Amino acid sequence: MQGFGDAFGAAFALIARFDTDLVEIVGLSLRVTLSATLFACLIGFPLGALLAVGRFPLRGALTVLVNALMGLPPVVVGLVVYLMLSRAGPLGTLGLLYTPTAMIVAQTILVTPIIAALTRQIVADLDAEYHETLRSMGAGAGMRMRTLLWDGRFALTTAALAGMGRALAEVGAVMIVGGNIDHVTRVMTTAIALETSRGELALALGLGIVLMILSLALNSLAMGARVGAARMAHA
Amino acid sequence: MRRFCLPFVAALAIAIPAGAQGDFIVVQSTTSTQNSGLYDAIVPAFTAGAGIEVRVVAVGTGQAIRNARNCDGDVLLVHAKAAEEQFVAEGYGISRADLMYNDFVLVGPAEDPAQVGATDDIDAALAAIAGSKAAFASRGDDSGTHKKERALWAHAGVAPEGDSGTWYRETGSGMGATLNIAIGMGAYTLTDRATWIAFGNKGGHRILSEGDEALFNQYGVIAISPEKCPTVRADLAQGFIDWLLSDAGQAAIADYRRDGQQLFFPNAGR
């Protein structure tokens, strides 16, 4: 049986060798996940704020739907995007299947509900706090959304990080729409799945450790940026 | 909000941009050829000579054929002759060629609870497993190996599907995942020899039955038809197939070894 010692050994060897394949895989993981998180933020922040402060029919139902979509299984998202992007599908002519773009699309769909739902909660809480003030200023819905999103920016970092964590960790969607093609669409999680299926458990776990280190680094960066920004805001 | 997303934009800017797109083909493939490292060994020589990048999507044979039917590939490389011939007959493939072969083996725990022994009679081996209700891990995913396994059970006169969930356990997973499961639960399973030799987590499992003629495992290669799939890169696909079937391609396949053992035996045009 291959143990944890072997796994840490493999992780250390991978990093020490700094081999170009690993750098490529890590780079693609970052590119796909960060792009998907960015697009999910661009959609999720306004959508969440709208659900929090907007007053329109079916708002409650839409809120429940967005919350429920947080539980979307990645494999289902992968299948839906595959069916859309397949040559036999409605968007087949774009030729996007088995490209990083397809992976970004799938992860954006996966992550947007998480960011939107968390944003809605954050903005709704702030709205309850500042409702009277904003109303007395005669702020319209758009103004209120912008103000509250800006006010909640530190809490929203956590929403973005939650979404990014989901994107970084999932394997089901990118495996189907990316195809785990070497040097083209292979990312950390699909590489881990491949090594597991080769029975190279120590190497798979080693890659997992590298992924955790990556996640730690990204979260530390975000935390640092947040602390720095908070200092500037209060200075 | 725009300022809020700045760190992400900055991160994106340093992330690797999309590389230039040269000529490439997509191969819808069975998993054994990738998991055993065959493509890593033979494709670079082709790419260097022809300037065509080969992008391999390795899924089970059943899914590879489905993906190819959706025109999501240029070449199909799988191991289920009947399904391949049907694929061609329906017009999705131009023609099918034998590429190489190896064989399936029955692996199981060293203790061998079903007393399979080391037999070359796969019928007797499967009957012994069914008779003793020893755990057997089936792919259960309509892959080439799964199709072969069902045919072997039928030939042995056993219908294990009725016992699914008891001793007959359908994993619904790829070969590697199924091997990991079989080793974890001390179950028997059928695997192609290439995946088994290259597999890194054999545990105490070993080959218990091999050598029966029924265990023959033929791989075929098919160019996907531009008539059904107008977007197919037919010329490039044919270039790859021609190379695989050429003396150079066949020699590259024969030369690939793991632990001193040859994994695939070329037999194009024979």
Instruction: Give pLDDT tens digits for B151-196.
Output: 999 999 999 999 999 999 999 999 999 999 999 999 999 999 999 9
| pLDDT greater at residue A134 or residue A47 | A47
Instruction: Answer yes or no: is pLDDT of B109 > 90.
Output: yes
Task: Collect all residues with Cβ–Cβ distance below 8 Å to B198 and sequence separation of at least 6.
Answer: A198, A199, B35, B36, B37, B258, B263
pLDDT of residue A140: 85
Instruction: Answer yes or no: is pLDDT of B69 > 80.
Output: yes
In a domain, A126, yes or no: yes
pLDDT of residue A39: 98
Instruction: Answer yes or no: is pLDDT of A136 > 80.
Output: yes
Instruction: Answer yes or no: is pLDDT of B250 > 70.
Output: yes
A184 neighbourhood in chain B, CB within 8 Å: 55
Interface touch A201/B200, C-beta < 8 Å: yes
pLDDT of residue B270: 58
Measured between CB atoms, does A38 come within 8 Å of chain B?
Answer: yes
Task: Supply the range of the domain harboring residue A65.
Answer: 20-226
pLDDT of residue A235: 67
Q: Which member of B26, B67, B176 has the closest CB to residue A198? A: B176
Instruction: Answer yes or no: is pLDDT of B3 > 60.
Output: no
Number of domains observed in the structure of chain A: 1
Question: If you average pLDDT over residues A102-120, what whole number do you get?
Answer: 98
Residue of B nearest to A204 (CA): B200
Question: If you average pLDDT over residues B43-47, what whole number do you get?
Answer: 96
Give residue A137's pLDDT band: very low, low, confident or very high (50, 70, 90). confident
pTM of the model: 0.89
Interface touch B200/A86, C-beta < 8 Å: no
Residue of B nearest to A156 (CA): B4
Q: Which member of A1, A28, A199 has the closest CB to residue B176? A: A199
A87 neighbourhood in chain B, CB within 8 Å: 70-72, 229, 231
In a domain, A222, yes or no: yes
pLDDT of residue A219: 92
Cα separation, B11 vs B258, in Å, equals: 41
Q: Which amino acid is at B18?
A: A
Q: In whole numbers, what is the pLDDT of chain A averaged over residues?
A: 92
Instruction: Answer yes or no: is pLDDT of B2 > 70.
Output: no
pLDDT of residue A61: 96
In a domain, A129, yes or no: yes
pLDDT of residue B62: 92
A194 neighbourhood in chain B, CB within 8 Å: 34-35
pLDDT of residue B18: 45
Instruction: Answer yes or no: is pLDDT of A149 > 70.
Output: yes
Domains and CATH numbers, chain B: 24-101+218-266 (3.40.190.10), 103-215 (3.40.190.10)
In a domain, A185, yes or no: yes
pLDDT in tens, B198-233: 999 999 999 999 999 999 999 999 999 999 999 999
pLDDT of residue B81: 94
Interface touch A199/B16, C-beta < 8 Å: no
In a domain, A153, yes or no: yes
Question: If you average pLDDT over residues A126-130, what whole number do you get?
Answer: 91
Interface touch B200/A46, C-beta < 8 Å: no
Interface touch A197/B175, C-beta < 8 Å: yes
B200 neighbourhood in chain A, CB within 8 Å: 2, 198-201, 203
pLDDT of residue B209: 95
In a domain, A14, yes or no: no
pLDDT of residue B20: 46
Q: Which member of B5, B34, B180 has the closest CB to residue A41? A: B5
pLDDT of residue B14: 43
B69 neighbourhood in chain A, CB within 8 Å: 88
In a domain, A75, yes or no: yes
pLDDT in tens, A58-81: 999 999 999 999 999 999 999 999
In a domain, A2, yes or no: no
Give residue B25's pLDDT band: very low, low, confident or very high (50, 70, 90). very high
- Residue A153: CATH number of its domain: 1.10.3720.10
Measured between CB atoms, does B175 come within 8 Å of chain A?
Answer: yes
Instruction: Answer yes or no: is pLDDT of B7 > 60.
Output: no
Calculate how close chain A gets to B18, using CA atoms only, in Å. 8
Residue of A nearest to B202 (CA): A199
Please state the length of chain A.
235
Measured between CB atoms, does A100 come within 8 Å of chain B?
Answer: yes
Question: If you average pLDDT over residues B66-75, what whole number do you get?
Answer: 96
Instruction: Answer yes or no: is pLDDT of A55 > 60.
Output: yes
pLDDT of residue B149: 97
pLDDT of residue B21: 60
Q: In whole numbers, what is the pLDDT of chain B averaged over residues?
A: 91
